[in-house]
Structure 1
């Protein structure tokens, strides 16, 4: 035993810091244990065990262990909380199902909306110099409208007059062009961009082959992405190969790029050297300061430390130098950060609406709150069943915090179950939501670490939102009162809170229903509005070649087809999102009148094909192209701007192109028509014959309401004529009415979002209402039995149980109507042409919500009313 004694310094430490009341017993027990450990595990391990035991028995550590063992959050207590929570949830299966379902639906909605918002706000955030990249935009001060495009002369002006710019990058996007591999039959219609090597110094690209400093230095060179190299040639080993543009220009592949990320506003698959423009279009003016197109945009990389706001005077100097002082009151240039491009017009063709994203976030929060209100309502409604439990727990020594933790554990357990179901629901509905909102999100985004972190935070927030109030309310009951009454006091504050939460739920539901109805009314208005021209039964086809002889051949072939009524060649359709802006000047009078004008370029058949009404004068002729006798048609708004009241008085008047000497004579006046979407007012517009800018054919069918068979037959014959006229070109078409609908994609998405959110909000609210109706029926079982014995009818019982809920719906209608009216009034301000908000919308919404509420509670009301009173009274 002498050799089996533990280290003396450990025994001394224990005698000094151990509990003196138990020191002798503890030392004796430890000596016996030490001897046992020496024999079983060896002396070395025995010393370690003895030392650890001594440390645990010292008073600071022993006191901490004692506190830990009795802590409300110790493992033992947590297991106890979870065990009791499971028992209570299993005991109230119906209420637990309603709570879990409501929370799961609300959280699934929130997670999906989070994915959408996260995706839309992540665009153009990955560039190394993103904080210094800007797009120069053009603002028409008088019209209070800005455009992403600018004058072609701006690139040279910035090179010369903006030393603060480290890089100036002009880009010209061209659509509807046929590209082909000359060695195969691979032929596609594509969008492409004219660009220079500066682009590769502006944005971040990963090169697979080629030199970013020289790839686009020479004319007739092209850079492809990996996907497009494989699309045309089957591999990425294509350096030096030839690709043919529009069957007239060979381009040599000078570089291969890795595919761009989804979250970019520059989805360029085909980059053609800027110096190739003159080979493709010899008449293209690269130093124009009169008229522009939004497809020509200029980007700058500012030097470090330069504030874009400080360049205002610099841009004013550019206006004066290249456009004259007289342009200052009407023209302004400014820089827009690359991080904002996704929220306005950009070259990707895909934008996000900031208001829609805010609406998404707000709706996600509302749906989650409605689900949490369900939990609070049902938890407090069942509180009387827990009164005796709380009283007994407090009577035997439980403190309030342990009860709070107990109820929060139950809320957390429900939330965890709900979050698992929510993830499954989100995975199921994600493809549907992505398609409806046109957002490229997948299950990969759902299982990313950002979404996981958000889901954990959401679970914690939901537990607090749903569980804190019931936990503190239930744990605050006095034990004597709880044991004596086994029920909750029918105090006014208690019921006012529960009823208030129900009112909030139905108020939100009513707002969403009203907004959904009004948005659909506005969309219907868009579809049926008189645009000033006929959009029905018109097929539009891009033109790869606008030589007069080609166009005449194509027209002649189409004119022979019985399905075709008329054909017009133009720059674009009567209404389009991208138009040619032209400054016009009327000089008859003391001062010249400048008018910012939409230029529609079309042939002699333009009015007939699109059904535009001529009010005075004569139509254009295809021969009206002489530089000495330009002729044009003007709309009523244009006449109003230059001060002419009667259309007939405008015939023969001259209008000048900007402040230059070239002019055109007004030979006709047309009725106003919407050259833009209904978001904007009708602009001053002129129509002129400019064959060099005919890039589209508008083909009017004979029948205004053609059948599917008629359309297919017409398309087949049109394609035959197309192939005969433009061999080796891809035939691509669209219907004008479908194209015009795309201008309202954001509103259509908003409508779908509101409809789905409305359904979810009403579903969750009705689940809670059903639970409360069940609780009410259970609580008033004896009362119903007594009333039936005294002769009450089934109808009166149903009315008794339903009346209180219908009152809450009525209060919700009163609260929701002004809120919905204000919200929709603000939304409708985005449109120049809009509906009037009618009062009956809110009345109809209230009736619909009352019917839904009545239907929800009627099941439990009828069940309670039909119950045998003898049975209910006997059970009482």
Structure 2
């Protein structure tokens, strides 16, 4: 019996190739999108799920609130908190400290063996490995990180530093790490690499006790409660039954006891626990973090695409149910039960979904290639994993029931006597099928219109912000990172070498780029009559050539800043400090960093960060020990590829052990809106799919419904109706549906766009004309599809259609 069901179902599908093709194409797209998003989501939630008692592990974060809505969450904590947390807060079973290093040079001491710079180096205390236990290949986990200058390396570092060596053979070997100073360490342990997905990217663990002198503790910012650095991270493992909320509450008296700034009211600080399971969606160590909002958006888009494909199926099947009424009547007459009929029609649906699912596997691989840059790093799909097998076993069955049950109920409900007479709908009676088809069509069209509106407005806003003047020259400016705490004389030597090149217009040194995502803020004391007023400002560390190289207009004074007691400010600073003009600000002394500094120049306002933010009061200071970037302005009409190669060659002549990589400033600025561009492109792809699926459904539905009205069209032609009248008669119903769809689509599109645009300080006004253009575009597509079918039907010879009447 079951074999016959599927045999008949297969024959029915082959008999209606157009209908079957539309269903398979639409459903395979929806299933492929859902399967890919399912794997992206499960991959994102798989990080660090393997640690024992992971539900009791938390990272302590800091929230600094400066008032006026300026609050900054930070994954770091003050150094002293690590010393007192177990004594002052009950319920903590274990604590572990990391101090992560960045761009650290790794080498063998007293040799020429240099392994380059690495971001997988960290200071760690023994408690870290108690919270996150590892398999030890060599060394004693209890004592490996107790003594200063001890080092635990991972298996991958073992193979990198000592190819072919066994773990036990490298114990006692020396490795040098160059950060602010040279750190000479001895290997005391080797641990196995994690095989599971993890955000802990570290392969070199230096004992935290290595930081022991007052100078070192001060340098790393571990000496005071007011110093919060994202490199200084603290993990805790709670006792069983202890809630994180109780720990968060216990932080309050500890803060009141130790943080004076809190009492002075300059800012407020609070600590809070972040579950290990949430760390992947916050501040992580590598570039693997992902936004939960973005993931939810992907899920939402995937469901919309699948729903549109499902609606296509339901819509077309309920419309075609009329043509199968006689089949139902005959089956019921010869003894077929309603249950058998439902099962027969569900078997057809299951075959369509099964073929669609197999086709979707190929589409998934194509989507992976198409969206490679949007997928997580090292993302792969294990098609034979338990979750994916469950998806491919359960999803077709579930989709069959959801998609096929209503058409099956409609088809199996026909009265055999009326069906065999050819009666489809009772005259004057409400038709649920017609009502449902119209409403499902409205849902499809409104989704397409909403997607088009979103894509048009997002693209319009991004083009607007990227075309705005930034207040500096970003073209033909290249930059590279300098070694951390490099010798100032070496940096000046590099700058001089660049300035000697004919292709270089100018070179400068700075702590950061003229426009970047980094933010250094501070407080200055501006004299007001006989008192001082505090002003929150942004700080940039630059040299005397920085303003000229980046083409920032100078309003007053000079930009030759080369003393630590001299500063430059921007026009916004002049205004908020109460000076009437840039000239008045020159020579004024203000309090900064517990010293008095003098304003020697005023520059025009420029966007030092993304256009989402307003321009802040800005202070340029001179502190050459902390320069981190070299910026080079090229002359016009240069061969950029050759210039880049030459600059890197000069860089390596000064820093032979470094990695020279010059990038263009305008490319860095474009990355400010990388996430927005991703959203726009994903929405654009979803928009194209929504339109395609809607067009497929509309094509199938209109071809069928117009075929049902062929006799009506022929009679009207015989009675003298023109082609235009016939086209308008058939199209007006669809015009009404598009109009209703437009009204429905406008509200969710406006809500999303208004919220997104409000995140930009520089933004366009809501472009309502684009809303109208989206509606007109969908109407044009709709009328084109319906018009073609109507035109073909109207060209049929009425004599052939009416010969049997």
Normalising by structure 2, report the TM-score: 0.90
Residue 748 of structure 1 deviates from its aligned partner by 2.1
Q: Bigger shift: 743-752 or 365-374?
A: 743-752
Residue 567 of structure 1 deviates from its aligned partner by 1.6
Closer/same/farther in 2, CA of residues 126 and 522 from structure 1, 3 Å limit: farther
Give, in whole Å, the separation in 2 of the partners of 1:862 and 1:274: 80
Is the aligned partner of 1:847 residue 2:776?
A: yes
Aligned counterpart for 1:91 among listed residues 10, 15, 19: 15
Closer/same/farther in 2, CA of residues 787 and 340 from structure 1, 3 Å limit: same
Q: Bigger shift: 684-693 or 226-235?
A: 226-235
Query: 1:12 maps to what in 2?
Result: none
Aligned counterpart for 2:504 among listed residues 554, 564, 569: 564
Matched position secondary structure for 1:687: strand
Residue 715 of structure 1 deviates from its aligned partner by 2.0
Residue deviations 1:790-841, cap 9 Å, x none? 4545454444443433332222122212221111112223333333220111
Alpha-carbon contact 1:123-1:339 (below 8 Å) kept: yes
Alpha-carbon contact 2:567-2:600 (below 8 Å) kept: yes
Give, in whole Å, the separation in 1 of the partners of 2:191 and 2:724: 75
Is the aligned partner of 1:728 residue 2:664?
A: no
Query: 1:188 maps to what in 2?
Result: 116
Residue 166 of structure 1 deviates from its aligned partner by 4.5
Matched position secondary structure for 1:485: coil
Matched position secondary structure for 1:382: helix
Query: 2:545 maps to what in 1?
Result: 605
Query: 2:270 maps to what in 1?
Result: 333
Give, in whole Å, the separation in 1 of the partners of 2:735 and 2:478: 53
Give, in whole Å, the separation in 2 of the partners of 1:653 and 1:301: 52
Matched position secondary structure for 2:567: strand
Q: Bigger shift: 452-461 or 290-299?
A: 290-299
Residue deviations 1:639-659, cap 9 Å, x none? 55555554444444444457x
Closer/same/farther in 2, CA of residues 841 and 372 from structure 1, 3 Å limit: same
Query: 1:404 maps to what in 2?
Result: 342
Give, in whole Å, the separation in 1 of the partners of 2:622 and 2:108: 35
Query: 1:31 maps to what in 2?
Result: none
Is the aligned partner of 1:147 residue 2:73?
A: yes
Residue 287 of structure 1 deviates from its aligned partner by 1.3
Residue 144 of structure 1 deviates from its aligned partner by 3.3
Matched position secondary structure for 1:728: coil
Matched position secondary structure for 2:103: strand
Query: 1:699 maps to what in 2?
Result: 632
Q: Bigger shift: 808-817 or 148-157?
A: 148-157
Matched position secondary structure for 1:188: strand
Q: How does 1:69-148 map to 2 (within 5 A)?
A: 76=1, 78-130=2-54, 131-142=56-67, 143-148=69-74
Give, in whole Å, the separation in 2 of the partners of 1:376 and 1:358: 26
Residue 220 of structure 1 deviates from its aligned partner by 4.3
Residue 137 of structure 1 deviates from its aligned partner by 1.6
Residue deviations 1:739-795, cap 9 Å, x none? 233333322221221111111111111111110121023212222333344454545
Give, in whole Å, the separation in 2 of the partners of 1:166 and 1:644: 56
Is the aligned partner of 1:343 residue 2:281?
A: yes
Give, in whole Å, the separation in 1 of the partners of 2:546 and 2:616: 18
Query: 2:327 maps to what in 1?
Result: 389
Q: How does 1:27-106 map to 2 (within 5 A)?
A: 76=1, 78-106=2-30
Aligned counterpart for 1:172 among listed residues 99, 113, 116: 99
Query: 1:462 maps to what in 2?
Result: 399
Q: How does 1:676-825 map to 2 (within 5 A)?
A: 676-703=609-636, 710-825=639-754
Alpha-carbon contact 1:181-1:233 (below 8 Å) kept: no
Matched position secondary structure for 2:51: coil
Q: How does 1:601-640 map to 2 (within 5 A)?
A: 601-622=541-562, 624-625=563-564, 630-639=565-574
Give, in whole Å, the separation in 1 of the partners of 2:135 and 2:532: 53
Closer/same/farther in 2, CA of residues 792 and 843 from structure 1, 3 Å limit: same
Is the aligned partner of 1:287 residue 2:223?
A: yes
Residue 87 of structure 1 deviates from its aligned partner by 2.9
Aligned counterpart for 1:472 among listed residues 409, 427, 450: 409
Residue 842 of structure 1 deviates from its aligned partner by 0.9
Closer/same/farther in 2, CA of residues 234 and 745 from structure 1, 3 Å limit: farther
Matched position secondary structure for 2:599: strand
Give, in whole Å, the separation in 1 of the partners of 2:342 and 2:122: 67
Residue 328 of structure 1 deviates from its aligned partner by 4.5
Give, in whole Å, the separation in 2 of the partners of 1:227 and 1:523: 42
Give, in whole Å, the separation in 1 of the partners of 2:206 and 2:631: 29
Aligned counterpart for 2:390 among listed residues 445, 453, 460: 453
Closer/same/farther in 2, CA of residues 575 and 503 from structure 1, 3 Å limit: same
Alpha-carbon contact 1:383-1:488 (below 8 Å) kept: no
Normalising by structure 1, report the TM-score: 0.83
Give, in whole Å, the separation in 1 of the partners of 2:743 and 2:463: 27
Aligned counterpart for 2:291 among listed residues 353, 372, 378: 353
Alpha-carbon contact 2:44-2:290 (below 8 Å) kept: yes
Runs of at least 5 residues in structure 2 that lack an aligned partner in the other structure: none
Give the root-mean-square deviation of aligned CA atoms.
3.1
Is the aligned partner of 1:830 residue 2:759?
A: yes
Matched position secondary structure for 1:125: coil
Alpha-carbon contact 2:221-2:228 (below 8 Å) kept: no
Residue 711 of structure 1 deviates from its aligned partner by 1.7
Alpha-carbon contact 1:224-1:270 (below 8 Å) kept: yes
Matched position secondary structure for 1:874: coil
| Equivalent pairs, count | 788
Matched position secondary structure for 1:633: strand
Query: 2:442 maps to what in 1?
Result: 503
Closer/same/farther in 2, CA of residues 594 and 653 from structure 1, 3 Å limit: same
Closer/same/farther in 2, CA of residues 868 and 510 from structure 1, 3 Å limit: same
Residue 631 of structure 1 deviates from its aligned partner by 2.7
Closer/same/farther in 2, CA of residues 778 and 801 from structure 1, 3 Å limit: same
Give, in whole Å, the separation in 2 of the partners of 1:832 and 1:341: 29
Alpha-carbon contact 1:532-1:612 (below 8 Å) kept: yes
Aligned counterpart for 1:375 among listed residues 292, 313, 333: 313
Query: 2:258 maps to what in 1?
Result: 321
Closer/same/farther in 2, CA of residues 701 and 497 from structure 1, 3 Å limit: same
Runs of at least 5 residues in structure 1 that lack an aligned partner in the other structure: 1-75
Q: How does 1:203-222 map to 2 (within 5 A)?
A: 203-222=132-151
Residue deviations 1:447-467, cap 9 Å, x none? 321122233332233212211
Residue 241 of structure 1 deviates from its aligned partner by 3.9
Residue deviations 1:354-409, cap 9 Å, x none? 22111111111111111111111111111111111222333344343332222222
Give, in whole Å, the separation in 2 of the partners of 1:328 and 1:456: 60
Q: Bigger shift: 291-300 or 387-396?
A: 291-300
Aligned counterpart for 1:433 among listed residues 371, 393, 396: 371
Query: 1:71 maps to what in 2?
Result: none
Closer/same/farther in 2, CA of residues 155 and 325 from structure 1, 3 Å limit: closer
Q: Bigger shift: 168-177 or 107-116?
A: 168-177
Matched position secondary structure for 1:334: strand
Give, in whole Å, the separation in 1 of the partners of 2:78 and 2:120: 18
Give, in whole Å, the separation in 1 of the partners of 2:289 and 2:516: 17
Q: Bigger shift: 200-209 or 499-508?
A: 200-209
Residue 717 of structure 1 deviates from its aligned partner by 2.3
Closer/same/farther in 2, CA of residues 245 and 731 from structure 1, 3 Å limit: farther
Matched position secondary structure for 2:270: strand
Query: 1:420 maps to what in 2?
Result: 358
Give, in whole Å, the separation in 2 of the partners of 1:439 and 1:719: 28
Alpha-carbon contact 2:537-2:616 (below 8 Å) kept: yes
Matched position secondary structure for 1:175: coil
Residue 218 of structure 1 deviates from its aligned partner by 4.2
